[in-house]
Structure 1
């Protein structure tokens, strides 16, 4: 569930909401907390895959010329 809200102060970067949720998901995952692994190792195992995909899509939409009319994907 997204934890980013419109009222919250943004850092001005693109895809900041998804970035924050993705970071929180990785750092609060059992793979990192209980097993003590690095977040990059947990990503390779497939944790937080949905947020990783939506963050990638948001970043990719920044390069898409059509996004000038449609707006960036994500929140």
Structure 2
């Protein structure tokens, strides 16, 4: 389903589970994003998180509900 954000969400989870913040420091994914000020989250995961946020925002935006989410 193209209007769902499940694929991007799973990609974000996979990216975070491979990061040093989760693997080495044994933090949860949520803790890693809260501690992002220390630069522990890789740039790749940050860009995926931004895409996921835009996807979620697009699901509740009334204009996007008719047009659908942009697939990239």
Q: Between Structure 1 and Structure 2, which shows a larger proportion of helix residues?
A: 2
> For structure 2, which runs of at least 5 residues remain unmatched after alignment?
none
Q: Which has the higher contact order (CA 8 A, sep 6+)?
A: 2
Provide the aligned C-alpha RMSD in A. 2.2
TM-score normalised per structure 1: 0.70
> For structure 1, which runs of at least 5 residues remain unmatched after alignment?
1-9
TM-score normalised per structure 2: 0.73
Number of positions where the alignment pairs a residue of Structure 1 with one of Structure 2: 64
Query: Which runs of 4 or more aligned residues in structure 1 lie more than 3 Å from their structure 2 counterparts after TM superposition?
Result: none
